[in-house]
Amino acid sequence: MGHSKLSYLATILFTGYAGANLAYKSRPDLAAPVLNITIPATNETADGLIFYTPESIYADNTGHGPAQSGPYIFTDKGDLVWTGFGYVGPRSENFLVQNYRGQQVLTIFEGSHNSPMGHGHGHTSIFDNKYRLLKQIKGGGHKLADQHEFLIFDNHSAVFTVYDPEIADLSAYGAKSDSQQWILDNKIQKVDTDTNRVLWEWSSLEHVDPAGTNLTLQSGNAGTDVERNQYLLSARSMCTIFKMDGDTGKIIWQLGGPNSNFSLGDGVEFCWQHDTRMHQKYLQHETKGSKEIISFFDNSAHENLAGGPDLKARAYSAGKVVELDTENWTSKLLAEFRAPGDLSVRSQGNLQLLPNGNAFINWGYDGAMSEHTPDGSTIFFSGMDSGKLGPGSENYRAFKFDWHGQPYEEPALVAFKESNGTALYISWNGDTESKVWKFFGEDAKGQKMLLGQAKRTGFETGFRTSHKPIRVVAEAFDVRGHRLVSSSVVKTRDYKLRLEYS
End-of-domain residue from the set 383, 401, 419: 401
What average pLDDT score do residues 82-105 get? 89
Q: Are 455 and 467 in the same domain? A: yes
Give the residue with greater pLDDT, 90 vs 37: 37
Give the residue with greater pLDDT, 235 vs 421: 421
What average pLDDT score do residues 69-74 get? 91
Q: What is the pLDDT of residues 205-219, one digit of tens each?
A: 767 766 655 553 233
Q: Are 347 and 456 in the same domain? A: no
Q: Are 424 and 467 in the same domain? A: yes
Q: Hey, CA dihedral for 206, 208, 211, 215, is it positive or negative?
A: negative
pLDDT exceeds 90 at position 122: no
Terminal-to-terminal C-alpha distance of the chain: 16
Q: Are 281 and 421 in the same domain? A: no
Q: Are 419 and 324 in the same domain? A: no
- Which CATH number does the domain housing residue 174 bear? 2.120.10.30
Q: What is the pLDDT of residues 383-407, one digit of tens each?
A: 877 555 556 678 889 999 999 999 9
DSSP assignment letter at 272: S
End-of-domain residue from the set 369, 401, 433: 401
Q: Are 177 and 81 in the same domain? A: yes
pTM metric for this prediction: 0.85
3-state helix, strand, coil in the chain (%, to 5): 5, 45, 50
Q: Are 438 and 297 in the same domain? A: no
What integer pLDDT is reported at residue 109 of this predicted model? 85
CB 476 within 8 A of CB 485: yes
How far apart, in whole angstroms, are the C-alpha atoms of residue 156 and residue 429? Answer: 30
Q: Are 288 and 419 in the same domain? A: no
Q: Are 423 and 482 in the same domain? A: yes
**Hey, is 365 helix, strand or coil?**
helix
Give me the domain span that covers residue 454. 1-31+406-502
What integer pLDDT is reported at residue 408 of this predicted model? 96
Q: Are 5 and 49 in the same domain? A: no
| 3-state SS string for 56-94 | ECCCCCCCCCCCCCCCEEECCCCCEEEECECCECCCEEE
Q: Are 331 and 411 in the same domain? A: no
- Which CATH number does the domain housing residue 484 bear? 2.60.40.10
pLDDT band at residue 455 using 50, 70 and 90 as cut-offs: very high
